Structure 1
Amino acid sequence: MLTAVLFGLAASIALVIGAIAGSLWRPPRRVTGVLLAFASGALISALAFELFEEAFHLGGALRSGLGLLAGAAAFVLADSVLDRYLTGDPGAEQRKVAGTGARGGIGFALLAAVTLDGVPENLALGVSLAGGVSLTLLIAIFFSNLPESLVGAVAMREAGQSKATVITTWAVCALLLTAAVVLGRLVAGGLSDPVLAVALSFAGGAVLASLADTLMPEAFEHGRPLNAFATAAGFFLSFVLAA
């Protein structure tokens, strides 16, 4: 269980680092776009060669496939509810993150999005620890958390929030996501192989949906023309670590 706590802290500390950096410095959008593209490639590789491969091996095509689709559907449903709750307009969260909405709400909208994305990612990390150390997924999550919290902190500072408030808010989010890793490890520890296969693929589906819905559109919007190269670099690094 200590391993789960340490992995959770290692993955989530990127949120605090990003918040501190964003409170003191406003990075170029291209930098954050490239970082998100790198994280997207790393997460795709980690999902393919760790989470879903293990799920397929444990439960076969039917269980892992249904789990993957169910995870994606759960993320889409939760994301739609979040959009309506925040703005009353489905899809508005993504437009605000891209900079086309009111600046005052971008930081908190992105904080909510990071939490929604991070819960399945960190649960997946915790579940994967049931089968051994998942360094690849840990690195991928770290690099996805860093630019998102950086952009969110910048927006919150521009909206008038104090440095202490910004850093504290993101630190609380980091603790929540650390707890998600521990919860994933606790739940996965007592599962049979077929049920663990569904849990792994469900978490993978939720993460894959969050990539398609949040990280990759943001990387494409602000990281061009380097986003494609960064995605490939992230995929390759993650593959090498998983090999």
Structure 2
Amino acid sequence: MLTSLLFGLAASSALVIGSVVGAMWRPPRRVTGVLLAFASGALISALAFELFEEAFHLGGAVRSGLGLLAGAATFVLVDSALDRYVTGHPGPEQQEVAKTGARGGVGLALLAAVTLDGVPENLALGVSLVGGASLTLLVAIFFSNLPESLVGAVAMREAGQSRRTVIATWTVCALLLTAAVVLGRLAAGGLSDTVLAVALSFAGGAVLASLADTLMPEAFEHGRPLNAFATAGGFFLSFVLAA
């Protein structure tokens, strides 16, 4: 329990750090794009060599594969529903509306969007703690949270939110995602190997879908030409930590 709480706080602390920096300073978009690319590479490596590898060994190809697809499908369905709620249209338009503050309630929209991306990642971190501390996944989540909160904080400031409101909003988000780590650990603690395999692969599928839908498109749009190099660097660091 204590380990999951500490891991949750460590991973989610990046949200608070990013919000403080974003509330005080507006970084170049290329910087945040490169950071997101680095985080994408780290998460891909962590998923391949930690989450899904463990799920495959515990449950075999069929169970782990079905769990992976189910997790991805669940993320897509929930993300599409959020898109419709925020903008009235499914698809990536929600990201731009949230980030530019073109609609009212930008703080709530950003909190909902980042929480949606972060919940599967943090649940996966909690589930992974059943088999031992996953430093690789922790580092990957930290580096994905940092640029997301930084960009979000800048958008909220441009929409007229005060520094105090911006930091408080992201702190609430950090606490929610910390709770997701603890919940993931508690839920997976008493599971059989077969069910744990499905849980691990399901969480991995949701994270993979969030990567394809959110982090990597943003990195490609704003991080070029360094995004490919940064992705490779994140992958290598995560691989070394997992080895």
**How far off is 1:16 after superposition?**
0.3
**How far off is 1:240 after superposition?**
0.4
* Aligned residues: CA RMSD: 1.4
SS for the counterpart of 1:3 is helix
Instruction: Specify the code of the residue in structure 2 equivalent to 1:180.
Output: A
Corresponding residue for residue 171 of structure 2? 171
Corresponding residue for residue 120 of structure 1? 120
**How far off is 1:94 after superposition?**
2.7
Structure 1 residue 222 and structure 2 residue 222: aligned?
Answer: yes
SS for the counterpart of 1:190 is coil
Structure 1: give runs of 5+ residues left out of the alignment: none
Corresponding residue for residue 130 of structure 1? 130
Contact persistence 1:110–1:148 (CA under 8 A): no
Contact persistence 2:9–2:178 (CA under 8 A): yes
CA distance in 2, matches of 1:46, 1:105: 34
Corresponding residue for residue 94 of structure 1? 95
Structure 2: give runs of 5+ residues left out of the alignment: none
Contact persistence 1:107–1:154 (CA under 8 A): no
Per-residue CA deviations over 1:82-103 (Å, capped at 9, x if unaligned) read 001111111121343575x727
TM-score between both structures, scaled by the size of structure 2: 0.96
SS for the counterpart of 2:121 is helix
Per-residue CA deviations over 1:111-141 (Å, capped at 9, x if unaligned) read 3221001000000000000000100000000
Corresponding residue for residue 195 of structure 1? 195
Instruction: Specify the code of the residue in structure 2 equivalent to 1:137.
Output: L
The count of corresponding residues between Structure 1 and Structure 2 is 242
Specify whether residues 224 and 109 from structure 1 end up closer, same or farther in structure 2 by C-alpha distance, changes over 3 A only: farther
Contact persistence 1:40–1:215 (CA under 8 A): yes
CA distance in 2, matches of 1:163, 1:56: 45
% identity of equivalent residues: 86
**How far off is 1:187 after superposition?**
0.5
Corresponding residue for residue 182 of structure 1? 182
Specify whether residues 97 and 17 from structure 1 end up closer, same or farther in structure 2 by C-alpha distance, changes over 3 A only: same
Instruction: Specify the code of the residue in structure 1 equivalent to 2:6.
Output: L
Corresponding residue for residue 64 of structure 1? 64
SS for the counterpart of 2:222 is helix
